[in-house]
Amino acid sequence: MRSLDALPKAHLHLHLTGAMRHATLVELAGRHGIRLPPALTEDWPPQLSGIDERGWFRFQRLYDMARSVLRTPADLRRLLAEIAQDERAEGSGWLEIQVDPDGYAARFGGITAALEHQLEGAAEARAATGVGIGVIVAANRTKHPLEARTLARLAAQYAGHGVTGFGLSNDERRGPPHDFARAFRIAEQAGLLLVPHGGELAGPASVAACLDDLHADRIGHGVRAAEDPALVKRLAAEGVTCEVCPSSNVALGVAASPAQVPLRQLLEAGVPVALGADDPLLFGPRLIAQYEIARHAHGFSDPELADLARTAVLSSTAPEPVRARLLAGIDDWLFSA
């Protein structure tokens, strides 16, 4: 059985704060005098649920508490350096990290300064580790659509300078996609990849709206599309990649067990799928664990796992030399020994 950490990969669904090491969270909290709740200390990883508003509110409160330990530019640089180190250790040669500059604006001098700190940290991490990093600016769908437009204009300003995509995150049961269509047109005109969340906490209609209203190039999660055969056929026909995150689906109650995540169902219907870890700080498992779920819970063979890795690379914004290197490495992994 081939080692999964030796399989070259691209990681397309990871949130900045949610990628923090637990030890770093605890250390920074102590340094800045922040008292963390038991769910982020002795009871970590927390028991979560997202299937009702109360459960999602608790998840979001824990996420905001974790983000509060990032107080200085040095904290952000450390976070990004450690993320890149962890990615390299798991065989990931390209990462697309989602950031919401608005969530850091109050402590870092506004959304522009916050994004610039994040881009600088990403560039330093890339230079130190060799892991390519593209930044996806993600708007919060629980806030006013005007704020999303502001973020889209900011993302467009840095297109080609570290920002590669524009997304939409948080509870999809609030903030329907059509409310954010104008923000996505701004990002689209700037040539950014369009990568909203959909089909996780809400059903297939959420995915269809991301396609129709937001012109999504990829869908964050998208697993609820499996409930609508016609929508699955559309995703396959249009080649829209779903960023499936099995561990977070189980943790939030979207699926009862790893085996019930419709991973094989989507793939067998022709839908491109890339695996992601989402928020390992809150869910526990990182990227390798998602491939282990595919191998052990869904019975994926090594050629099928290699296909998953290829899809992630081909669905990414990685520059051509990085793509070629990763794709050649996947072939080497599969055909050597």
Angstrom CA distances, 151 to 60, 63, 165, 316, stand at: 20, 20, 11, 21
Greatest Cα-to-Cα distance within the chain, rounded to the nearest angstrom: 54
For the sheet with 241-244, list strands across it: 9-15, 92-99, 132-140, 163-169, 193-198, 218-221, 241-244, 273-275
The closest alpha carbon to 248, from 48, 11, 37, 89, belongs to 48
Catalytic residue among 116, 188, 200, 243: 200
Give yes or no for a contact between 63 and 69, defined as CB atoms under 8 angstroms apart.
no
- The yes-or-no answer on residue 200 being catalytic is yes
Two tokens, residue 148:
């999303």
With 0-12 / 13-18 / 19 or more C-beta atoms within 10 angstroms meaning exposed / middle / buried, residue 21 is middle
Residue-level length of the chain: 337
The closest alpha carbon to 271, from 179, 204, 180, belongs to 204
Give yes or no for a contact between 20 and 320, defined as CB atoms under 8 angstroms apart.
no
CA contacts within 13 A on the Cβ side of 274: 29
Give yes or no for a contact between 89 and 7, defined as CB atoms under 8 angstroms apart.
no
Q: Which residues contact 286 (CB under 8 A, 6 or more apart)?
A: 86, 90, 277, 280
Give yes or no for a contact between 69 and 29, defined as CB atoms under 8 angstroms apart.
yes
Residues with a known catalytic role:
200
